Amino acid sequence: MNAPVTEYPLGHERPTVARRDLIVLLVAAACLQALAWAVLLALFSGGWMGYGLHQLADTLLYHFYASSFALGRWPYADIPVEYPPLANLVFLLPPSGGAVAEYERWFSTTMIAATTAAAVLTTAAAALAWRSVPRGLVVAAGYAVLTLCCGALALNRYDAVVALIVATALFFLAVRRSLPASISLGLGFALKLTPALLLPLVLLLQERRRGVLVALAGFAVAAALPFVPFVINDPGTAATPFTYHERRPLQLESIPGTPWAAATLLGAARPRIVSAYGSQNFSGSAPDFVAAASPWALAICVGAVYVLVWRRRSVLRDAPALVPVAALAVLLVAICASKVLSPQFLIWTFPVVALCVAQPRWLPRLAAVGVGVATALTQIEFPARYWELVALHDGPLLILLLRNLTLVAATALAIAAVVRLSPVPPSAPTSRS
């Protein structure tokens, strides 16, 4: 990508991609996803991936929830579901009356569809923001590579739907529609809380107070409405999705847990591992202190990134194609500061990572590559060698450390990319940093 930047979106010009070209591009994005999934399923069928398609999957839990809901049991009041309300609807999409294997097939099919839809929307966002079919094709190819790097993780968790929500918000931001973008993020909050981290980005893009208020109102309504039936049914249990995650200890795979993993690998420590809240975690006074401080650290770190974004808001307002650079920094900082880093969390970043692959500057592209490498390393460790990791064997610990260091490096690059945000002159080469 060393050609001059001739399609840089300045001002308030409308996208000029022809409708026919856009349709062909979106079909190509869907075909690339179909190819990626065909390759993955063939590898799993041949036993080449080193682990089973549904090994250590969350679908057994989802099937239990869906079966219980079908019997009339209420989430939170009758069953302490850890997920926000809209996740329950996702669990009910596959038929839950049969065997778990049947449920898994339907659920996996649904997640393939969600991943494909997210790739198509992300590709459309790139083409419309950059007014360029070639950049859209780069994004489509990048998303397909991310799907390959992810392996079976996207099949067995509902995080592909979270990625679809993020892709939807980015699409609306690409075409300068802040209200539907904020509504999308509100629905994402009611699905898995995390998409709300991008709401301040939508607000910073508004040039007038009315736009800020409208976006806030759209988010608030979309985020709150799914909780209303459960608050009415049992106000005391409706907060379970919040209290559950607030109480979680320091997860083994998290970035804040890396010092204990490194000390173990060097033979300087032997931390105690306990199973709780659906994960394996470091136990002890120091890990407990880090876990308690993690939400504060996350808020401070994300806030610091938004200070940088605020200072470059005029550039982002003029160039919607640069918005994913800021979004990537926000999401990566949040993931790195969190006391929990489950393997599927990186799926949330796929839309912004794919969009950063097509950026003209090398900093966001390197950050995107870093996330792709971290995703591949995650698949090498989980689920094939996960229980070896829990037993603190050297090999999986080394893979985990490499993954975490790669994520930290990608985060640093993404932050640097935000610091260096500036308009790209039409004559500037795309390799300029």
User: Is 365 part of any domain?
Assistant: yes
What is the radius of gyration, based on Cα positions, of the chain? 21
CA distance between the termini of the chain: 13
User: Is 430 part of any domain?
Assistant: no
The predicted pLDDT at position 424 comes to 54
Q: Which residues span the domain enclosing 292? A: 19-419
pLDDT band at 337 (very low <50, low <70, confident <90, very high): very high
CA distances from 364 to 64, 122, 271, 356, 432 (A): 41, 16, 36, 6, 11
Contact between residue 321 and residue 423 where contact means Cβ atoms under 8 Å apart:
no
Does 5 score more than 80 pLDDT?
A: no
pLDDT band at 1 (very low <50, low <70, confident <90, very high): very low
Q: List, for residues 50-65, the tens digit of each pLDDT value.
A: 999 999 999 999 999 9
**275-292 mean pLDDT:** 95
Spatial CA neighbour of 252 closest among 226, 221, 276, 217: 276
Average pLDDT, the chain: 92
Q: Scanning the structure block, which residue is given the tokens 């930047």?
A: 5
User: Is 328 part of any domain?
Assistant: yes
Q: Give the predicted TM-score (pTM) of the model.
A: 0.92
Residue 318 CB coordination number (10 Å)? 14
- Cα angle 146, 338, 354; round to 5: 20
In 247-284, where does DSSP find H-type helix? 258-265
CA 355 remoteness from chain centre: 13
The predicted pLDDT at position 14 comes to 46
Strands (E), 294-405: none
* Angstrom distance (rounded) from CA 106 to CA 83: 20
Name the phi and psi angles at 276, rounded to 5. -165, 150
**404-414 mean pLDDT:** 98
Q: Which residues pair with 283 in a beta bridge?
A: 272
**135-162 mean pLDDT:** 96
The angle that helices 285-311 and 394-419 make with each other, rounded to 10 degrees, is 20
User: Is 244 part of any domain?
Assistant: yes
Q: Which residues pair with 272 in a beta bridge?
A: 283
Does 341 score more than 70 pLDDT?
A: yes
Q: Percent of the chain at pLDDT above 90?
A: 90
User: Is 222 part of any domain?
Assistant: yes
Helix (H, G, I), strand (E, B) or coil at 281: strand
User: Is 425 part of any domain?
Assistant: no
pLDDT band at 70 (very low <50, low <70, confident <90, very high): very high
Number of domains into which the chain is organized: 1
User: Is 7 part of any domain?
Assistant: no
